[in-house]
Amino acid sequence: MNGLTVSGRRLRSEFHPSAEDDLTEAWSWYEEQQPGLGDRFLDAVRAALDNVAQWPNSGTSAIEDPDGGIVERRVATWTFPYAIRYRTIGESIVVMAIYHQRRHPDFGTDRTP
């Protein structure tokens, strides 16, 4: 899944190793359900990250620091029930977790960049 790239200006996307595993696991599940569905899932993730790369503050606050600053944001895919939690670090977006929205919202919050 290292080949997931985001186009255009903007911030570069990087994946926490566990987020890569999240993506691979979801892709595999969708491919088992119907061939090609996993690729449509990747397209949905790519589209969400493309928007985040262009507007990094568009996601909702997911984790805040004690001073009230936002540490991580969350954005949903439009066509699949998945959320992407990310951090903006310098000129990069670091994807920390990709998870089904029925999972607990704290899924993967123990991951460090």
Q: What is the predicted pLDDT for the residue at 2?
A: 42
Q: What type of residue is 18?
A: S
Average pLDDT estimate for 3-22: 77
* Complete DSSP assignment for 8-64: SSSPEEEE-HHHHHHHHHHHHHHHHHSTTHHHHHHHHHHHHHHHHHH-TT-SEEEEE
| Segment (H or E) for 7 | none
Average pLDDT estimate for 27-47: 97
Q: What is the predicted pLDDT for the residue at 49?
A: 94
Q: What is the predicted pLDDT for the residue at 60?
A: 81
**CATH 3.30.2310.20 is the classification of domain 12-100:** yes
Average pLDDT estimate for 38-45: 97
- Please state, in angstroms and rounded to a whole number, the distance separating the CA atoms of residues 85 and 35: 27
| Segment (H or E) for 113 | none
- Please state, in angstroms and rounded to a whole number, the distance separating the CA atoms of residues 56 and 76: 13
